[in-house]
Structure 1
Amino acid sequence: MDGFISDIAFTASIWALPVLIAITMHEAAHGFVANLCGDPTARLMGRVTLNPFAHIDKFGTIVLPILCIVSGWALAGTPFVFGYAKPVPVAMSRLNNPRRDMMLVAAAGPGVNVLLAVAASALLHTASWFPQWFGAWWEATLVNGVLLNLVLAVFNMIPLPPLDGGRIVTGLLPYELARRYVRLERYGIFIVVGLLFLLPFIGREVGIELNYLMRLIMVGVHYLLQFVLMLTGQI
């Protein structure tokens, strides 16, 4: 039992920093670009900040990652952590060029996650500089930082509102199509949850592989990871 608890504690310690940095920078990037494009809403609400407490969602930032860690160890011994923060408010009508700027605001979050993955991968070269006990923790934290940021980047680029990819698609579509497409926003998160969790669960129950969305996400992560590792001299 003590070993199980210590394993969970270590796992939590190597995920905490990547989760906080990834979601904080993702949301702050949305607000920062929105402010540059004419909408100061997020800045005035204190959301253009690197203070993680301004972005924390009690469930998405704290409870969900903990559930991932505990359930991952209990079921497979290899947890994968996921989470999210409070969305940054953007007043589209206040943007200088609403359709173009909304796409820039949406792209800023995943773009920052890719940059964070590159930074974490580059810092892996420093793991050997430290004593073994700290170097092992530092390396595991950085590896998690690379993977988490890439998963967040690819996941958020799914072309379904309210995800960032959906907002980009909305900006690219002709006005009439965009107006209809954006109506999916009220159902979008339920569609994603269904594809990620409910459909695979049903598939397991009936003996059919239905985990298509996660497979697609991991294909994107794989190719992005190869690019990041090559760019930072890891391969």
Structure 2
Amino acid sequence: MNATAYEFSTWILPLVFAITFHEAAHGFVAHAFGDSTAWNLGRVSFNPLRHIDPFGTLLLPALLLLSHSPFLFGYAKPVPVNFRKLRTPRLGMILVALAGPGTNILLALAAAAAFHLLPIVPANAALWVAANLKNTVLINVVLAVFNMMPIPPLDGGRVAVGILPRPLAVPLSRLEPFGMLILIGILILLPLAGSQFGLNLNVISAGLRTVTDFLIRLILILTGNS
């Protein structure tokens, strides 16, 4: 296996499972609170094939990896949730939204704890397994932190809509159709524009990295890897 294929294999499995568990968790909690939309469509499943988006889950991360991008990003097909069908719509929306990032943090904790099992892994596979575990921790924490940004349709945006008083929640919820454009603007276009004038406008990304680094250190401490 050449170096590129080896590196790709240590990233794609953690990414596929992180995204799959994230989306499935949304569906499970929505079903528990009374919305069977995802359940009826067969999307409440830990089968990656039900959640994989060919471009977002496979092609985009591969292109970023091959181009030596400083970040790795991907997405799955969103699990459909009809919030009006939830027994307690406001609380249900918050818990459905939190289920995805919460599951990612649990996966990161499990992967970090699994480092203690490396001594029993065959020597010829130990490095590959260690790389997968390391990337599992990183990808799941990044996914959780990124999704908790308070911008709809990200999970953090839906939590904010559920928590804020109606006069603030309604205008925030109306941003959902433009959420991805806003994210592209503040994470990519704004820093690029700032660099043309010698300004560092990469504040949001820097904040995300700070929170990500803190959570990874905390997870390593909690699992005895510090």
TM-score category of the 2 structures, normalised to the smaller one? over 0.9
Query: Which residue of 1 is the match for residue 37 of structure 2?
Result: 41
Q: Does residue 142 in structure 1 map to residue 133 in structure 2?
A: yes
Please report how far the alpha carbon of residue 149 of structure 1 lies from its aligned counterpart in structure 2 after TM superposition.
0.2
CA distance in 2, matches of 1:133, 1:64: 30
Give a deviation string over 1:53-101, Cα, whole Å, max 9, x none.
11111211011111111111xx6xxx54221101110111110010110
SS in 1 for 2:45: coil
Q: Name which of structure 1's ranges 200-209 and 89-98 shifts more when overlaid on structure 2.
A: 200-209
Kept after mapping to 1: 8 A contact 2:12/2:58: no
CA distance in 1, matches of 2:36, 2:119: 43
1:85-164 superposed matches below 5 A? 85-164=76-155
SS in 2 for 1:39: coil
Q: Does 1:196 align with 2:187?
A: yes
Cα 1:80–1:14 shift into 2, 3 Å: farther
**Structure 1 residues 44 and 133, CA, compared in 2 at 3 Å: closer, same or farther?**
same
1:69 counterpart = 2:69:
no
Between 113-122 and 208-217, report the one with greater CA deviation. Answer: 208-217
Distance in 2 of aligned mates of 1:131 and 1:24: 28
Counterpart of 1:70, as a letter, is L
Secondary structure of 1:82's counterpart equals coil
Q: How many residues align?
A: 226
Tell me the amino acid that sits aligned with residue 193 of structure 1: I
Question: Which consecutive aligned stretches of 4+ in structure 1 deviate over 6 angstroms post-superposition?
Answer: none
Name 1:168's counterpart in structure 2: 159
Residue 220 of structure 2 is matched in structure 1 by 229
Structure-2 separation of matches of 1:63 and 1:19: 12
Offset, 1:193: 1.2
Range that drifts further, 135-144 or 217-226: 217-226
Q: Which runs of 5+ in 2 are unaligned?
A: none
For residues 172 and 28 of structure 1, the distance between their equivalents in structure 2, rounded to whole angstroms, comes to 23
Shift of 1:186: 1.2
Question: Match for residue 18 of structure 1?
Answer: 14
- Equivalent in the alignment of 1:82: 73
The code of the aligned residue for 2:38 comes to A
Residue matched to 1:51: 47
Whole-Å separation in 2 of the counterparts to 1:115 and 1:168 = 19
Matched residue type, 2:80: P
Identity of aligned residues (%): 50
Bigger shift: 224-233 or 18-27?
A: 224-233
Q: Superposition RMSD on alpha carbons, in Å? A: 1.3
Secondary structure of residue in 1 paired with 2:156 = helix
3-state SS of 1:83 partner: coil
Separation in structure 1 between the aligned mates of residue 83 and residue 122 of structure 2, nearest angstrom: 50
| Residue of structure 2 equivalent to 1:178 | 169
What is the aligned partner in structure 2 of residue 209 from structure 1? 200
